[in-house]
Amino acid sequence: MTAYYLTTPIYYANDVPHIGHAYTTIAADALARFHRVRGDDVFLLTGTDEHGINIERIAAELGLTPTQQVDAVTAAFSALWAELDIEYDRFVRTTEPTHRRAVVALWQRLQASGDLYRGVYEGAYCPRCEAYYQPDELVGRDCPVHGLPCDNVAEENWFFRLSRYQDALERLVRETDFVQPTARRNEILGVIRQGLRDFSASRRLVRWGVPVPGAPDEVIYVWIDALANYLTGIGYPDDPKTFERFWPAKLHLVGKEIIRFHCLYWPALLLSAGLPLPQQVFAHGWLTKDGNKISKTTGNTVDPRALAAEFGADAVRYYLLRAIPFGQDGDFTRRAFVARYNADLANDFGNLVQRATTLAARHAHVPVAQGKPGAPEIALREAADQLSDRVTAAFESFALHEAASVVGHFVGEVNRYIDKTAPWTLARQGSFDRLGVVLDHTLEAARLAAWYYVPILPRAATDAHCRLAGARPLPGGGTFDPTRRHVVNVGPPLFPRLAQQVGDVTLAK
């Protein structure tokens, strides 16, 4: 059994989750489910990043303690992941005692390597990024990520020798597929070519964080703290057996705004600490809404909780995975959401399940096929036999939109097979040998589509599989075998068709 450890970024506990957080986490969950149903030993980690000066400021503005602030936000994340059927194996919080031990253990390794030294920093600092920026990185005087003014900060603290790893990081990025997709890889190579600078590894102005060992008036830089969560989540340093089982990670899934920390800082810290590097970092794009940047300030945002409550978790998952080529920026519109729901889920997959189960129940007296498959069955089998390789290739290359598209294309093939073979006509004609062949191929093809849809539509696809095969989808169910006939159950439509115009999405408050 192959170990497959993948992670979302841990989400900053400054506010409730938004659609971008949902997008990343749904993608990670779909990948995890695909590898689970394939039989891999999967561990999915997510969580919240709860330290830093920004948390202190927000809590003070709200009249809360930092602990009260992060507890409330973390509860909101946990609740949303339950609503969206996210099956994580561990939810890590950076305020946990176990995480603090991991951060301190990593820090001590960095000290032992000689890569920490005392220095003075003076310049621009973005409290939202928890990062210092050089003058040539600013947009005017503003943070290049948030577009808001940076603070001018001067303090003595610990620095990490990132510059020592310039050559090693360039080889890693240039000669391997460590950074994906290609556009992000080229972006990181551009940063490396400009020359890597050592970065400040501790803070004196911050109190809400992990104290530096031996220096209680300083806390460890929040990005070192946050990145260490990938070690904490699988037992470092307390559970070496679990850690050795899953580390190094197969995949860190992140948004493109934090690639510098994951593709430069993180591998350098691991090299310094003498720990193996993760296999790959994949940075997806940003979401916009109606062609404009998603922003709570302007009110142009979508509350994923409201969206899931109105349309169901599967519909939200499907739209985000199918409509946006993974790795690129994508735009959310309600019109496109409804159109995609009706075309792919209501008219195609939901309709297929309804047709297959209704036909089978209506003709339950027809025995298991005695007739020989004809040309339509041979063509259907060929399509089914290609499904495994095509879906696997899509998931393994992180083309999640392609994985959804491939299954959807097969669903269309099965619906066309039903239309072509016209089982209702065969029943009327009394051609029961031929009808048995058609029913068996229809049921098995619909079941196979449901099995491959499970990572994307876990609730509806599992329900469909139970209706078509009398059992939940299990590893090994991805092969086409029309000789198996099961008790079939007819249920209500999986995806009732929506009116094209249905009002506005509830905006996040």
Mean pLDDT (the chain) is 93
Say which of 143, 250, 262, 284 is annotated catalytic.
143
361 domain residue, yes or no: yes
Residue 259, CA distances (Å) to 179, 341, 440, 447 in order: 9, 32, 49, 40
Q: CA separation (Å) from 497 to 27, 347, 450?
A: 25, 8, 19
Query: Which of 16-25, 68-77, 114-123 shows the lowest mean pLDDT across its residues?
Result: 114-123
Position 38 in a domain: no
**Is 260 within a domain?**
no
* pLDDT > 90 fraction of the chain, expressed in percent and rounded: 81
- As for how many domains the chain has, the answer is 1
Residue 216 located in a structural domain: no
Confidence class of residue 509 from pLDDT cuts 50, 70 and 90?
Answer: very low
pLDDT digit string (tens) for 82-110? Answer: 999 999 999 999 999 999 999 999 999 99
Residue 6 has pLDDT above 60, yes or no: yes
Higher pLDDT, 368 or 97: 97
In a domain, 449, yes or no: yes
Would 202 be classed as within a structural domain?
A: no
Distances in Å between the Cα of 144 and the Cα atoms of 129, 150, 254, 260 are 10, 10, 18, 13
409 catalytic residue (yes or no): no
Asked whether residue 432 is domain-assigned, the answer is yes
Selecting among 99, 129, 263, 401, the annotated active-site residue is: 129
The pLDDT value recorded for residue 508 is: 33
Q: What is the mean pLDDT of residues 344-361?
A: 97
Count Cβ atoms below 10 Å from residue 124 Cβ, excluding itself: 19
* CATH number of the domain encompassing residue 349: 1.10.730.10
Phi and psi torsions of 92, nearest 5°: -100, 140
Catalytic residue among 99, 241, 263, 296: 296
Candidates 126, 150, 284, 289; catalytic one:
126
* DSSP letters for 202-235: EESS--SSPEETTEEEEEE-HHHHHHTHHHHTTT
pLDDT band at 136 (very low <50, low <70, confident <90, very high): confident
Mean pLDDT, range 365-393, rounded to an integer: 91
Residue 434 in any domain: the answer is yes
Q: Are 104 and 224 in contact (CB under 8 A)?
A: no
Tally Cβ neighbours within 10 Å of residue 449.
28
* 365 flagged as catalytic: no
Active site residue 146: yes
> Is pLDDT at 507 greater than 70 in this prediction?
no
Q: Is 509 a catalytic residue?
A: no
User: What is the pLDDT averaged over residues 239-243?
Assistant: 97
Is residue 143 flagged as an active site residue? Answer: yes
Asked about 284 being catalytic, the answer comes back as: no
* Residue 292 predicted with pLDDT over 90: no
Structural domain containing residue 419: 333-469
The 10s digit of each residue's pLDDT in 393-411 is 999 999 999 999 999 999 9
In the predicted model, is pLDDT for residue 505 greater than 60? no
